[in-house]
Amino acid sequence: MTKKVKIGNVVIGGGERIKIQSMTKSLTQDKEETLKQIKNLERAGCDICRIAIPDEESARLIKYYKERTTLPIVADIHFDYRLAILSIKEGADKIRINPGNISKDKIKEIIKCAKDYGIPIRIGVNAGSLEKDILEKYGRPTPDALFESIKRNVEFFLENDFDNLVLSAKSSNVLDTIKVYRLIHKHFDFPLHIGVTEAGPSYIGVTKSAIGISSLLMEGIGDTIRVSLSAPPEEEVYVAKEILKAVSLLKGPEIISCPMCGRAEFDVERVAKELMERLINFEKPVKIAIMGCVVNGPGEAKEADVGVTGSRGVGVIFKHGKIIKRVREKELLDELIKIICEEL
């Protein structure tokens, strides 16, 4: 089992619930947009929020954001060790550094400051920015190359008497990601932050992330997860939750829906999307079906605890395949949620 590490008021590792992390995508200096994204993450059920710190102004805004959210704030630092130190002093709950782009002397200063303030550091190795000598040795960022970088850096932190660590080694290649995390898990007991980096847009990113993350979770590897998507941050959280539910690490409703065909008289896609948004923080493990036609829908979705379909403005609610109610279509989801809350 991995060690426990505290990020603000959130504990990761040591068998705790797997935490969901995401990252704001606005310019960190843009207070209005960044705060909006943080609030959206909070509402979506995110556990930990990371923000990029590209300059001093961004580091100085950490306090501003922390005062306005319940989420722990992780400062993401590249290149400039002074920004890491400033972020810690401004209240970051954890910092993530990419050791491939900060010199060892400077990392020592970051370690000293993190020790003084009692906050953890994530060593975030990335296939795109491996140390030069390691890259030359392996020719490309193979799992072994990524692992060598992690090993070298962990040893350096331990030599400097710092073990409040979280590790990650991300690649945009799913199989490489799985292999390198297996290696890290075998050799170290620090909590692991897992994900496939630069996974891609919409369904490409969702597919790669789901395969990479769920494969590792099923082997008991991973303490925090991030789904990297070229999409609004809250969508990363929605996908992360679905991955956790799919591998039984999170309780919640399971929404199934038919693919629709020439018999469909009901807008399955729109209703499913609205229902997903309304149930995002529900914990009841109920199976809900959204089907395209009244003739076949209820029967095809017998396995579901409850379901909906409809035709010509009339919404139909069924339980285990049997129709129990007809309502006006615009009242359908209110009625469905009432049944889920009160009767199931």
Residue whose tokens read 């954001």: 65
Q: Which of residues 15 and 259 has its CB atom nearest to ligand SF4 in the complex?
A: 259
Q: 112 Cβ partners below 8 Å, 6+ apart?
A: none
Distance CA 255, CA 276 (A): 8
- Alpha carbon distance, N-terminus to C-terminus of the chain: 36
Rule CB under 6 A: say whether 297 interacts with ligand SF4.
Answer: yes
Residues between 252 and 281 that touch ligand SF4 (CB under 6 A): 258-261, 263-264
Rule CB under 6 A: say whether 304 interacts with ligand SF4.
Answer: no
- What's the closest the beta carbon of residue 321 comes to ligand SF4, in angstroms? 12
Q: Which of residues 183 and 256 has its CB atom nearest to ligand SF4 in the complex?
A: 256
Distance CA 141, CA 193 (A): 19
Binding residues for ligand SF4, how many (CB under 6 A)? 12
Q: Using CB under 6 A, which of 222, 252, 292, 310 touches ligand SF4?
A: 292
Which CA distances in Å does 57 have to 22, 34, 63, 218?
A: 21, 13, 11, 41
Distance CA 61, CA 28 (A): 8
CB 218 within 8 A of CB 248: no
Distance CA 92, CA 76 (A): 10
Q: Using CB under 6 A, which of 271, 293, 316, 336 touches ligand SF4?
A: 293
Distance CA 75, CA 97 (A): 9
Torsion angle defined by CA atoms of residues 176, 178, 183 and 185, in that order, rounded to the nearest 10 degrees: 150
Q: Using CB under 6 A, which of 26, 164, 296, 311 touches ligand SF4?
A: 296
Q: Which of residues 260 and 344 has its CB atom nearest to ligand SF4 in the complex?
A: 260
By beta carbon distance, the residue nearest ligand SF4 is 292
**Cα Rg, the chain, nearest whole Å:** 23
Q: Using CB under 6 A, which of 76, 176, 223, 300 touches ligand SF4?
A: 300
Q: Which of residues 141 and 292 has its CB atom nearest to ligand SF4 in the complex?
A: 292
- What's the closest the beta carbon of residue 297 comes to ligand SF4, in angstroms? 4
- What's the closest the beta carbon of residue 341 comes to ligand SF4, in angstroms? 26
Rule CB under 6 A: say whether 308 interacts with ligand SF4.
Answer: no
- By rule CB under 6 A, what string of x and - marks binding of each residue 145-184 to ligand SF4? ----------------------------------------
Q: Which of residues 8 and 297 has its CB atom nearest to ligand SF4 in the complex?
A: 297
Which CA distances in Å does 26 have to 51, 57, 261?
A: 9, 14, 40
Judged by the rule CB under 6 A, the positions of this chain that interact with ligand SF4 are 258-261, 263-264, 291-293, 296-297, 300
